[in-house]
């Protein structure tokens, strides 16, 4: 697991309320195709959160 993946897992864990250690154990149990699929899903889910936060900041101004 590289730093980029660890950072993604930390961000996703805080977003979803999951335990980081358990999430990392689960991640290591996946094969490379499953990891790619899950990485994309996590990025999409976190991207929606980021875009919603940006929209709320724009509306506040």
Residue 30 per-residue DSSP state: S
What are the distances in angstroms from CA 39 to CA 10, 34, 59? Answer: 12, 8, 30
> Could you tell me if 46 and 11 are in contact, meaning their C-beta atoms sit under 8 angstroms apart?
yes
Give the pLDDT score at 21. Answer: 96
Comparing CA positions, the residue from 5, 3, 2 lying closest to residue 39 is 5
Give the pLDDT score at 1. Answer: 83
Question: Would you give per-residue pLDDT tens digits along the chain (61 residues)?
Answer: 899 999 999 999 999 999 999 999 999 999 999 999 999 999 999 987 666 655 655 666 5
Give the pLDDT score at 56. Answer: 57
d(CA 36, CA 49): 20
């Amino acid at each position: 697991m590289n730093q980029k993946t660890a950072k993604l897992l930390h961000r996703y864990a805080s977003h979803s309320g999951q335990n980081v250690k358990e999430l990392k154990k689960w991640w290591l149990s996946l094969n490379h195709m499953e990891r790619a699929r899950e990485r994309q899903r996590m990025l999409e889910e976190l991207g929606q959160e980021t875009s919603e936060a940006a929209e709320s900041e724009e509306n506040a101004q």
